[in-house]
Amino acid sequence: MDVLSGSFEKIRTESLVYYHDGAIPNIAIPSRDLNVEWVAEELINTVVESSNRRERFFHFLDSGYSGLLAHDDESWTAYGWICTPRSDRVPIQLPDWIGDLDTYWLFFARTREGDRGEGWHKYLLAERLRAIYEYDLGSSIYTDTDIDNVSRFSIVSSGFGPAGTLRTYSLGYPPFDMKKIGRWNWDTSHPPLPESE
């Protein structure tokens, strides 16, 4: 029985969901002298040091996701990804059925620890929104995050409003044979924003 339980994993995640109101925030590029580019294989090989992160980014490209990355020609500073209606699969934290919706989902945004607080998260959020609306003006755009994530400040100030909570169960042995089911509770209110650092 231990063999079966070891090869069958059940993971539950719960996140806050946000829907964008359609107004693109006007955010100036942070003052640092960095390049901002759409992620491609060559860029990954040039500025992403971690082999785990490189592997994940290649998987994202293979899945049909689009990523935007800020860098200094040697290493990354910040990035954020988009799952589109044409992507082959949904991000791992979402139920599989989200892929049946005609939506864009912003996910996996990070800023390098030493560069946080400079506005890169919010800037890349705005640039991803701009790109989506220029391509598909009437699109539905969502994002999700953990309750205690301070990025909720950037999300809310960029025109996203609460759209309930999402509970996802990942069943199987990652990364193979994963089945993701879940429930979107549209009417669940969001808690107050977390304390900023």
Range in 28-37, 117-126, 161-170, 171-180 the model is least confident about: 171-180
What amino acid is encoded at 125 in this protein?
L
**pLDDT, tens only, 101-128:** 999 999 999 999 999 999 999 999 999 9
Residue 11: the pLDDT is: 82
Give the residue-averaged pLDDT of 135-152.
94
Separation CA 93–CA 33 (nearest Å): 33
Tell me the whole-structure pTM to 2 decimals.
0.90
Average pLDDT, stretch 63-85?
A: 98
Cβ atoms of 186 and 163 within 8 Å: the answer is yes
Domain ranges of the chain: 2-185
Q: Which fold has domain 2-185?
A: Aminopeptidase (3.40.630)
